[in-house]
Amino acid sequence: MRDFMVGNIAVGIVIIDGKAGTEAEFTAGEKLTVAVEVSQGFDILYRLKGVVGSNPKVPLFFMSRIDTVKLDLDPATVPAPPAKGSKSSTSDEYEKREQIWRDPALNKLGLSSGQQGISQYIQNLMAGSAWSAAPAPPNAAYVVFVTKYMANWMAYADQSRGRITMCYSWIADKTPVNADGTGGFRSTGTQGWGDENFDRVFAHESCHIFRAPDEYASSHCSVTSQAGHLHIENSNCEIANVSSVDCLMKNNTQALCSATPGHLGWVDRNNNGVLDVFE
Return the minimum-mean-pLDDT range out of 10-19, 51-60, 212-221.
51-60
Higher pLDDT, 270 or 264: 264
Q: What is the DSSP string of the chain?
A: --SS--EEEEEEEEEEE--TTSTTPPPHHHHHHHHHHHHHHHHHHHHHHHTT-SSS---EEEEEEEEEEE----GGGSPPPPPTT-----HHHHHHHHHHHHHHHHHHTT--SHHHHHHHHHHHHHH-GGGGGSSS--SEEEEEEEESS--SSSEEEETTTTEEEEEHHHHH--PPBPTTS-BSGGGSS-----GGGHHHHHHHHHHHHTTPPP-SGGGT--TT-EETTTTEE-TT--TT-TT----HHHHS-S---SSHHHHHT---TT-SSS-GGG-
- Identify the band that residue 182 occupies on the pLDDT scale cut at 50, 70 and 90: confident
CA-CA distance, 148 to 26, in Å (whole number)?
7
CA-CA distance, 120 to 55, in Å (whole number)?
37
CA-CA distance, 9 to 46, in Å (whole number)?
12
Higher pLDDT, 270 or 248: 248
Domains of the chain, by residue range, sit at 7-210, 215-273
- Identify the band that residue 52 occupies on the pLDDT scale cut at 50, 70 and 90: confident
Residues 6+ apart with CB under 8 A from 89: none
User: pTM for the whole thing?
Assistant: 0.95
The arithmetic mean of pLDDT across residues 220-224, rounded, is: 96
